[in-house]
């Protein structure tokens, strides 16, 4: 009996006391153009035309399982499969998000909106939260303007550094990040739950171009989902100034002096099809993990 009670005591002290009803759910980890990539000749891409493994474009849901509701970040070209994944693995029924945040007007981040229109689901007043330039882009350009005209979506403007309350306990704050802003500004997001705080930066040009220091952010946040488009220059066969991103190798060396406890807060996401980190079995994935960092994978839950 004593042994039995001891077991329960150990169990009770190791289980976190906070309720775990709210979490980030990873719905995709690739760069905008997805995996497999159009016209690609790499083995990993070619294999994934036939293996039907699940690689989707970068997106996350924030779920409140008590309320049976969620909010979604990014409308990707893979949204059909991503919402089906939520149905199969989280809700057991098809549910639309309570709100949809879109970071910027590059194809992987907003083009999935087309599936809410007349030719597809034909939603009614789906709440889409975007920054002012993105809002104008959607309202003024077809086919997106038709979604607005037919009330498939209802756009609500957000502001940088202004918090939005979602799902009772979640605070979402868009923050400005430097990126190629051809059609819209670009947002990163602070997602604050009751217990933990996450930073979602799917796309950024270079850490040096930002007015924030990455190392300070690692101190402040519990989870950092960071742009990992390219691991190093070997993957890039064109001028990187056309498509700037922090290389994962640069991000790792910026954070290299930190202890494993801090490094483990980092989840690399938004990987290009050329980045071997997409393949969980690659030597590079193993070495990144061994250094203490994480790689975002479909279906992971990060409790808030
Ligand atoms: Zn992107
Ligand atoms: Zn982008």
Query: How far is ligand 1, taken at its centre, from the CA of residue 282, in Å?
Result: 23
Domain annotation covers residue 3 = no
Q: How confident is the model at residue 129, as a pLDDT?
A: 98
220-272: per-residue pLDDT in tens? Answer: 999 999 999 999 988 887 777 788 899 999 999 999 999 999 999 999 999 99
DSSP-assigned letters across all residues of 45-97: HHHHHHS-----BSEEEEEETTTTEEEEE---TTHHHHHHHHIIIIISS----
Residue-number span of the structural domain to which 116 is assigned? 19-303
Domain annotation covers residue 103 = yes
Q: How confident is the model at residue 48, as a pLDDT?
A: 87
Query: How far is ligand 1, taken at its centre, from the CA of residue 256, in Å?
Result: 25
Regarding beta strands 59-64 and 22-28, do their DSSP bridges make them parallel or antiparallel, or are they unpaired?
antiparallel
Q: How confident is the model at residue 18, as a pLDDT?
A: 52
Please list the ranges in the chain whose pLDDT falls under 70.
Answer: 1-19, 52-53
Cβ neighbours of residue 256 closer than 8 Å, sequence gap 6 or more: 291
Domain annotation covers residue 2 = no
Ligand at minimal distance from the CA of 180 is: 2
Q: How confident is the model at residue 271, as a pLDDT?
A: 98
Tell the residue number behind the tokens 């789906």, with chain if given: 126
CATH classification of the domain holding 250 = 3.60.15.10
Domains: count for the chain: 1
Closest C-alpha among 57, 149, 68 to residue 102: 57
Domain annotation covers residue 234 = yes
Q: How confident is the model at residue 1, as a pLDDT?
A: 53
Domain annotation covers residue 60 = yes
174, 179, 185, 208, 236 from 182: Cα distances, Å: 19, 9, 8, 20, 21
Q: How confident is the model at residue 20, as a pLDDT?
A: 85
Domain annotation covers residue 214 = yes
Domain annotation covers residue 6 = no
Question: How many Å apart are CA 231 and CA 268, to the nearest integer?
Answer: 10
Q: How confident is the model at residue 11, as a pLDDT?
A: 52
Domain annotation covers residue 141 = yes
Ligand at minimal distance from the CA of 269 is: 1
């Amino acid at each position: 009996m004593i042994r039995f009670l001891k077991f329960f005591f150990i169990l009770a002290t190791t289980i976190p006391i906070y309720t775990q009803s709210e979490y980030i759910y990873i719905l995709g980890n690739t760069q905008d153009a997805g995996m497999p990539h159009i016209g690609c000749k790499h083995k990993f891409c070619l294999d994934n035309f036939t293996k039907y493994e699940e690689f989707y474009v970068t997106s996350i849901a924030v779920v409140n399982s008590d309320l049976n509701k969620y909010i979604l970040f990014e409308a990707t070209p893979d949204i059909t499969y991503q919402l089906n994944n939520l149905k199969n693995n989280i809700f057991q029924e098809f549910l639309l998000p309570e709100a949809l945040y879109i970071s910027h007007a590059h194809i992987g981040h907003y083009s999935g909106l087309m599936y809410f229109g007349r030719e597809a689901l034909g939603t009614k007043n789906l709440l889409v939260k975007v920054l002012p330039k993105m809002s104008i882009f959607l309202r003024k350009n077809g086919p997106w303007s038709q979604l607005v005209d037919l009330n498939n979506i209802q756009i609500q403007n957000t502001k940088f550094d202004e918090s939005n309350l979602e799902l009772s306990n979640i605070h979402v704050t868009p923050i400005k990040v430097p990126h190629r802003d051809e059609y819209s500004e670009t947002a990163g997001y602070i997602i604050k739950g009751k217990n933990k705080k996450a930073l979602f930066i799917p796309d950024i040009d270079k850490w040096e171009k930002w007015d924030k220091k990455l190392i300070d952010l690692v101190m402040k946040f519990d989870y950092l989902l960071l742009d990992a488009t390219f691991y190093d220059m070997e993957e890039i066969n064109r001028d990187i100034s056309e498509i700037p991103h922090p290389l994962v190798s640069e991000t790792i060396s910026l954070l290299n002096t930190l202890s494993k406890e801090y490094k483990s807060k980092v989840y690399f996401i938004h990987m290009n099809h050329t980045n071997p980190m997409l393949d969980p079995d690659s030597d590079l994935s193993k070495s990144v993990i061994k250094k203490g960092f994480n790689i975002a994978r479909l279906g992971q839950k990060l409790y808030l």
